[in-house]
A = this chain, B = another copy of it.
Amino acid sequence: MAEHTVIIENTLRKLLAEKKYSTLREILITMNPADIAAIFNEMEEERLPLLYRLLPKELAADTFVEMDQEAQELLIRGFSDSELKEVLDELFVDDAVDIIEEMPATVVRRILSQADPEMRQSINEILRYPESSAGSIMTTEYISLRPEMTVAEAITRIRRTGIDKETIYTCYVTKDRTLIGVVTVKDLLLCDDDDKRIQEVMIEKVISVNTHDDQEEVAQMFSKYNFMALPVVDTENRLVGIVTFDDAMDVMEEEATEDIEKMAAIIPSEKPYMSMTPFEIWKKRIPWLMLLMVSATFTGIIISHFEDALAALVILTAFIPMLMDTAGNSGSQASVTIIRGLSLNEIEFKDIVPIIWKELRVAVLCGVSLAAACFLKILLVDYLIMGNFAGNLNGNNPFLIIGVICITLAITILFAKVVGCSLPLFAKKLGFDPAVMASPFITTIVDALSLLVYFGVANLFLNLS
């Protein structure tokens, strides 16, 4: 919450304690619903219903939509049937669905019993669509026009029926419920001839989505085409609803958060962090931690296998973390870039050859520069300053040892970049979520690879017996 909201919150608390309700009301009605909701979310349970009832009807409903689930549930439980009906009458269908989806069954039953029959039918229809589908985020409150209407008739219709619609700015032209065109209020208002037919001014190249399309695709169409609303049709091209840009924005934010969580080996959650219990957080984090920990068995096996070599030349151990981390970082840079490109539809599987070729060249640049820097750093810090190479080198030339480390570094970076860029592409191709192919997963694979390279190169150049 922004600082100025905290100041207002304190003022409101004082006024509430002093029972200055009319002043309170005067302040609240100057505020935006989203800001009122932010304050109400922080209020104590017993104060909330009193404060909420100070709001005028329409502002109350707009605020209700913006509040978090706990506060909404609390209010609904305290509402009389007529109060609940009043709020429901002001809500858009898609907002009502959002609220219902998060409520326990008893509350849902009460809401449905108080909604008017038409709204109840729309709610039930939307609830039937699979989670995260276009159908589940659409609203059924749009303006439809007939192709033979004149511009003047259309404007009259908008003025008469617009009040309950989520947007009036994009109107949909249908014939026997089939979507045949769109026309915007801008087109209608700027049209110089009021007697023109809608079919003459409408745009026929309508871009629509199917009820079962994924919400992520829908959001991407918004960001590609800059639409204000997008029509949702069924398999027979009959118009069943619209998705508006504000819902698309929420989806964009939600999907980015989901991708980020998956990239950090967390199972995505719809609840905000601050309202999750430690146990709920644990449940989202432990599966990947467990899986990755067990996968690390491979690195253990590799090291055990080369135990004698390490015992013979203990200094090699000191560089294992540096080698593994650098390779891991190199790999996750590549994987995260590709994952994001896939999410934004900038990259596709068919680009795999140019991508690998590009990453190979990047890997050579990174490998050579890091190996050179590593050589200088070890020479300066570890050899000259720290004197770490003064111990038992088992008869090996210290420069040869440094060389082995740097060659290993360059080779593992090459592997890491190629593995990092190609795994997300294969995941996508095979129908898995590319986002899980990020840092933690890549690190586990790259760790094992870098150890194998390390011991392989060491065996080749050094005396390890």
A contact residues vs B (CB 8 Å cutoff):
1-2, 30-32, 34, 155, 158-159, 162-163, 168-169, 185-186, 189-190, 205, 207, 222-226, 228, 245-246, 248-250, 252-253, 256-257, 259-261, 263-266, 272-274, 278-279, 281-282, 285-286, 288-290, 292-294, 296-297, 299-301, 303-304, 307, 310-311, 314-315, 317-322, 324-326, 328-330, 332-333, 335-338, 340-341, 344-348, 351, 354, 358, 361-362, 365-366, 369-370, 373-374, 377, 381-382, 386, 388, 391, 438-440, 443-444, 447, 451
Contact = CB atoms under 8 A, between A and B. Distances in A.
Contact of A447 (B226, B279, B321, B444): B321
Contact of A273 (B205, B337, B388): B337
A377 B297 contact: yes
A35 B455 CA distance: 52
Contacts of A186: 162, 168-169
A336 to B, nearest CB: 4
Contacts of A333: 264-266, 285, 289
B260 A336 contact: yes
B303 A307 contact: no
A282 B439 CA distance: 18
Nearest to A206: B32
B32 A205 contact: yes
Interface of A is mostly: helix
Contact of A444 (B286, B315, B325): B325
Given A260-B260, A321-B303, A358 B281 contact: yes
A178 to B, nearest CB: 18
Given A278-B358, A348-B1, A326 B272 contact: no
A266 B336 contact: yes
Contact of A370 (B31, B289, B303, B438): B289
A260 B263 contact: yes
A185 B333 CA distance: 47
Q: Which 6 A-B pairs have the closest CB atoms?
A: A296-B322, A264-B336, A278-B361, A226-B246, A299-B321, A256-B256
A381 B168 CA distance: 65
Contacts of A30: 205
Given A185-B189, A333-B266, A325 B296 contact: yes
Contacts of A185: 168-169, 185, 189
A299 B223 CA distance: 45
A193 to B, nearest CB: 12
A137 to B, nearest CB: 14
Contact of A245 (B249, B314, B340): B249
A163 B190 contact: yes
Nearest to A290: B373
B388 A304 contact: yes
Contact of A260 (B162, B207, B259): B259
A217 to B, nearest CB: 10
A52 B72 CA distance: 54
A264 B439 contact: yes
Contacts of A158: 189
Nearest to A326: B293
B318 A304 contact: yes
A332 B439 contact: yes
Interface centre among A190, A325, A326, by most chain B C-beta atoms within 10 angstroms, is: A325
Contacts of A369: 282, 286, 290
A308 B320 CA distance: 16
